[in-house]
């Protein structure tokens, strides 16, 4: 990777990844793009930023040519809960945008990354230590687009030789950007509310296990995968990755170690709960560890301490 175009750079992953890549490659070699341009965004203020609608293939290609891009990191997509509310838009954006980005990668011989998700699994998938290769029959539009995206990236690699790479992300937890409509967003909200109100009402029910990862580990996973030798990658689209399998009450206990008065109650959102129950409780990450040395650093306890510290600093700045 030398000069990188990031789509959806203002989302949770994009905000953190843009900052890390600018540190690693220099601000002139990381082109952040999004369909919105908010004020007071570090992504916009601290480097090159371009407006981009990924459903416009010509616009994607023009930026690739303008900045002599060699790598596309395609993050633009609707997340799970929003996609269920707007399934047609989710298909048009998640699949249409992906096809456009892959076509530009094919034409210009670019390296390519796009994230998949544990949402690509479904209720018939083994729920405990979900294998790398297994049944994928999701029951959400988000999941349908993620499975389709994995297959499409495989097709572009096998048919055209595009160097496509992907991971199936679990729920991602970050202090750098607010949640964007995902089923696992409670795991981000809970830290904000713990500091504000010493209480949180979870829209995911007690006892519901889901895989999670702290954003620094997620960003590190993307960079490690993109820098791995292509010949080492067998399951390139997409690798299971995760750092922890946790329930809402596990977050409660971890937060109470720092804020003893914190309390958790439940007001279950049936749509997001149904999505959560269709996903695995835990996934097997052995292939990512073998093929490109995936190795998350943060446990729930270490992540909680860092999240609370960073959010306190953020509120004071």
In the chain, where are the structural domains located? 4-169+215-240, 172-212+243-316
Cα(307)–Cα(66) distance, integer angstroms: 38
Cα(20)–Cα(156) distance, integer angstroms: 28
DSSP states of 121-186 as a string?
S-TTS-SSSB-SS-----SSHHHHHHHHHHHHHHHHHHHH--EEE-EEE-EEE-SSS---S-GGGH
Cα angle 312-315-317, degrees, rounded to a multiple of 5: 110
CA 96 vs. chain centroid, Å, equals 18
Which H, E and C letters describe 110-139, residue by residue?
CEEECCEEHHHCCCCCCCCCECCCCCCCCC
Pick the more confident residue, 246 or 185: 246
Which residues are identified as catalytic? 142
Q: For residue 235, give the DSSP letter.
A: S
Comparing 81-90, 160-169, 178-187, 222-231, which segment has the lowest mean pLDDT?
178-187
Residues forming a β-bridge with 172: 213
Please tell me whether the peptide bond between 248 and the residue prior to it is cis, using omega within 30 degrees of 0: no
Confidence of residue 39 (pLDDT cuts 50, 70, 90): confident
Residue 314: other Cβ atoms inside 10 A:
12
What pLDDT sits at residue 275? 87
Of all residues in the chain, what percent carry a pLDDT higher than 70? 98
Query: What are 54-66's pLDDT values in tens digits?
Result: 999 999 999 999 9
172-212+243-316: which CATH number, 1.20.1090.10, 3.30.565.10, 3.40.50.970, 3.40.50.720?
A: 3.40.50.720
Average pLDDT in the chain: 94
Give the tokens for residue 250.
């596990």
Contact in structure between 48 and 27 (CB atoms under 8 Å): yes
What pLDDT sits at residue 6? 98
272 contact partners, CB below 8 Å, separation of at least 6: 80, 81, 183, 203, 204
What pLDDT sits at residue 194? 95
Confidence of residue 316 (pLDDT cuts 50, 70, 90): low
Whats the size of the chain, residue-wise? 317
What pLDDT sits at residue 181? 65
Strand runs (DSSP E) across 218-309, as ranges? 239-240, 244-246, 263-266
Beta strands 30-34; 111-113: pairing state: unpaired
| Residue carrying the six token digits 């994607």 | 60
Closest CA to 212 of 82, 117, 74: 117
Checking if the pLDDT of 226 tops 90, the result is yes
Comparing 121-125, 148-152, 289-293, which segment has the lowest mean pLDDT?
121-125
> Comparing 4-169+215-240 with 172-212+243-316, is the CATH topology the same?
yes
Closest CA to 78 of 68, 63, 89, 70: 89
Fold annotation for 4-169+215-240: Rossmann fold (3.40.50)
Please give the C-alpha separations between residue 256 and each of 191, 216, 237, 261, 312, in angstroms, as whole numbers: 11, 23, 39, 7, 16
pTM above 0.85, yes or no: yes
Closest CA to 43 of 18, 77, 76, 75: 18
């Amino acid at each position: 990777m030398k000069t990188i175009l990031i789509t959806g750079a203002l989302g949770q992953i994009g905000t953190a990844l843009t900052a890390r890549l600018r540190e690693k490659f220099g601000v002139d070699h990381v082109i952040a793009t999004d369909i919105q341009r908010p004020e007071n965004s570090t992504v916009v203020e601290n480097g090159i930023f371009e407006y981009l609608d990924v459903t416009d293939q010509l616009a994607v290609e023009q930026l690739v040519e303008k900045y002599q891009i060699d790598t596309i990191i395609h993050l633009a997509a609707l997340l799970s809960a929003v996609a269920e509310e707007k399934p047609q838009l989710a298909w048009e954006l998640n699949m249409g945008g992906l096809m456009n980005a892959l076509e530009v990668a094919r034409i210009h011989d670019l390296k390519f990354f796009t994230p998949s998700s544990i949402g690509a699994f479904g209720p018939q998938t083994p729920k405990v230590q979900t294998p790398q290769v297994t049944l994928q029959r999701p029951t959400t539009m988000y999941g349908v687009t993620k499975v389709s995206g994995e297959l499409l990236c495989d097709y572009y690699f096998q048919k055209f030789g595009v160097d496509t790479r992907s991971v199936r992300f679990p729920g991602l937890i970050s202090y750098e950007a607010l949640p964007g409509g995902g089923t696992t967003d409670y795991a981000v909200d809970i830290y904000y509310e713990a500091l504000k109100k010493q209480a949180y009402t979870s829209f995911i029910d007690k006892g519901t296990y889901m895989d999670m990862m702290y954003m620094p580990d997620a960003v590190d996973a993307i960079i490690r995968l993109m820098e791995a030798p292509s010949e080492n990658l067998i399951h390139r689209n997409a690798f299971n990755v995760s750092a922890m399998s946790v329930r809402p009450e596990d977050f409660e206990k971890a937060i109470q170690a720092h804020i003893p008065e914190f309390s958790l109650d439940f007001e279950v959102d049936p749509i997001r709960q149904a999505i959560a129950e269709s996903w695995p409780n835990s996934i097997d990450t052995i292939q990512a560890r073998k093929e490109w040395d995936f190795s998350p650093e943060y446990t729930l306890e270490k992540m909680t301490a860092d999240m609370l510290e960073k959010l306190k600093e953020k509120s004071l700045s």
